[in-house]
């Protein structure tokens, strides 16, 4: 079972997914490095090639995750 931080990150992603799905995209949670506070995600579908995907990642996904899980310092797409 994921720890509480990972569970909270997953919950935020589950809240964001409907908007991503509406545009033909999705996001996969790859892990959280508690030592440096970095969340690793994979953008999928339309999000992979979208010209504003990094804006979505930083201004949408990262802000939502950081507001819910203050231990997160950054969200990175791999």
* Domain boundary assignment for the chain: 4-77
Rounded Cα distance, 59 and 54, in Å? 8
* Residue 1 pLDDT > 50: no
pLDDT in tens, 2-21: 579 999 999 999 999 999 99
- Per-residue pLDDT, averaged over 36-64, amounts to 93
CATH topology of domain 4-77: GMP Synthetase; Chain A, domain 3 (3.30.300)
Rounded Cα distance, 61 and 42, in Å? 12
- Per-residue pLDDT, averaged over 14-36, amounts to 95
């Amino acid at each position: 079972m994921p720890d509480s931080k990972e569970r909270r990150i997953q919950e935020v992603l589950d809240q964001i997914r409907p908007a991503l799905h509406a545009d033909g995209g999705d996001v996969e949670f790859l892990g959280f490095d508690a030592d440096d506070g970095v969340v690793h995600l994979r953008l999928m579908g339309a999000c992979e090639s979208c010209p504003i995907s990094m804006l979505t990642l930083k201004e949408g996904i990262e802000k939502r995750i950081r507001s819910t899980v203050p231990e997160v310092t950054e969200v990175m797409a791999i």
